Amino acid sequence: MNAQAIQLRMLKAMHPEHGAAPPEKWQQRKSAQTRQKLVAGGIDCLVEGGYSSLTTAAVAERCGVSRGAMHHHFPTRMELVAAVVDHVFYRHMALFLEDYFAALSERGEQLLFEVACEAHWRSVHRREYTAYLELAVAARTDVELATHFEPVSRRFDEVWTKEMIEAFPQWEAHWDVMKLASDLASSVHLGMLLQEPVFGNSDRMEQLRSFVIDAVRRLYQQTQKPAD
């Protein structure tokens, strides 16, 4: 299966409407565009001011739409929040896949682990991941947010694991090791991101990045050893 087909399948699994034809009627297209604009504005509010700034009033003002238009698309704050949560996970996956396959095509399969780890490291610096962190932290104490955020998080994780196994059959017999490698890279990169203001662009960061790549490679190499 080629890269484009893999991306399409994974994104449709995450968001069933991915790749669907736009609405035929002009009014429906305009409505869909306004909704997308509001969701993007919600992410901007979230990234710039944290979860408390993600309100229908703030987003309506930011996007230059009336309160009535906002209410039409998102009658309540939590409906807006739910749409933002869904979009954050979807866009994070979409941008990672686009970056990963572009880098893999340029650098080749022999650098698979380097390409994957470097693409993930780049992904945690995007606004979608910043929005994810704001939501994840807020969901720890906001029960209403958690009721939507946590199921979407689990679904993202399930889709990611299933589709990665399909995309990389060399891992199929060792899916548990593949998941461990993915979890390791994600967890270390998150910690590195939070420590970046302290570590800066230093040897410590480079050593950690190299450690992640080497650890993932070693996990894979263990799966290639003949059974005793």
In a domain, 216, yes or no: no
Q: How far apart are CA 114 and CA 185, in angstroms?
A: 11
Q: Which structure tokens are listed for 141?
A: 């104490």
Closest CA to 38 of 18, 7, 12, 66: 66
Residue 198 lies in a domain: no
Per-residue pLDDT, 25: 81
Residue 228 lies in a domain: no
Quote the radius of gyration of the chain (alpha carbons, Å). 20
Dihedral angle sign, alpha carbons of residues 6, 20, 83, 145: negative
Q: Is 52 among the domain residues?
A: no
Stretch 35-60: mean pLDDT, rounded? 95
What pLDDT is stored for residue 10 in this prediction? 79
For residue 153, give its domain range: 3-16+77-167
Tokens of 83: 């749409």
Measured CA to CA, the distance from residue 226 to residue 90 in angstroms comes to 38
Please give the tally of structural domains in the chain: 1
> Is 145 a member of any domain?
yes
> Is pLDDT at 196 greater than 80 in this prediction?
yes
pLDDT in tens, 64-96: 999 999 999 999 999 999 999 999 988 888 888
pLDDT value of residue 18: 64
Whether residue 103 lies inside any domain: the answer is yes
107 compared with 145, residue with greater pLDDT:
145
Q: Which of 2, 6, 17, 181 is nearest to 90 (CA)?
A: 17
Is residue 185 assigned to a domain? Answer: no
Q: Classify residue 21: in a domain, yes or no.
A: no
**pLDDT confidence of residue 93:** 86
Task: Give burial (CB, 10 Å; 0-12/13-18/19+) of 202.
Answer: exposed
